[in-house]
Amino acid sequence: MGKTTEHKNRTIGKILLLSIISLIIISCGKVMITGRNQFLLYDQGQITSLSNQAYTEIMSKSTLSSNASYNRMVKQVGENLTNAVSRYVNENGIKNALDGLNWKFEVVKDPSVNAFCLPNGNIVFYEGIMSITNTPDLVAVVMGHEIAHALAKHGNERMSQETVAGVADQVIGTLISDKPQQTQALFGLAFGLGSQLGVLLPYSRKHEYEADRLGLIIMAMAGYDINVAPGFWQNMSQGGEKMPEFFSTHPSDANRIKKINEVLPEAAKYQSAK
Ligand SMILES: [Zn+2]
């Protein structure tokens, strides 16, 4: 390798490093309520439009449930929880926390024990999970947790982390600004779309614990009984080898239940009458 090439490589290296540093500086966010700093490379607008496409695709292959009581319960709990979130963000002057989120609550006719929330706030429960979440408080445990993933922008954070991890062979600036197809591919990868539609890849432990904590706070704000949560996850951790979909992406173990018990007193401070 000639001296000029080496010099050039070093310069490119420096530019790359500088652009990563400046990206990190301009891309810092804070998770509402938990206050954790996070690194977000993507614009919520991009994330929302990709989520909208994914939602349309998933729903085009699904049938809406005709079970009136499932539909009523899921919509009611979803509205109560997200109304509580709206009240909180209004009272605290952080309305932009809801940018790009368009809450939607549907039940699909599918025996899978599953539920998910896309990063645009579109939430889907499968009929199969309704036999486990058979009270409004239990629906609120799952729904609060899913809403929390969207509010805390965990999807954006995961995509951002994957982007940075892939920086060795990609110039980050062009990846983000000029390559919508790559962004889309990354979105698909980050959410496991393409392989099994609607079955989202598991989040990291850190994101799961944060969604549990934030989810319980949202439940409390809306007046649901947060004390049903430890028992719910406890039952799920005893599911044996034939784990339903939801619990294979949300593994529950002694650690998770311990953490949930630890945050119950904090969540209780947000408790209000329903
Ligand atoms: Zn989760």
- CA end-to-end distance (rounded Å), the chain: 70
Q: Which residues of the chain have pLDDT under 70?
A: 1-10, 12-26, 165-182, 186-201, 239-243, 273-274
Q: Is 146 a catalytic residue?
A: yes
Buried-exposed string 160-194: b where 16+ CB fall within 10 A, e elsewhere: bbebbeeeeeeebeebbeeeeeebbebbeebbebe
pLDDT digit string, tens, across residues 116-139: 999 999 999 999 999 889 999 999
State which residues have CB under 5 angstroms from ligand 1, the bound ion. 211, 250
- pLDDT for the residue numbered 193: 52
User: Crossing angle, helix 229-237 and helix 136-151, to 10 degrees?
Assistant: 90
pLDDT digit string, tens, across residues 61-71: 999 999 999 99
CA distance 259 to 216: 12
**Candidate list 91, 106, 127, 146, residue with the active-site label:** 146
- pLDDT for the residue numbered 272: 74
CA of 215 to the centre of ligand 1 (A): 10
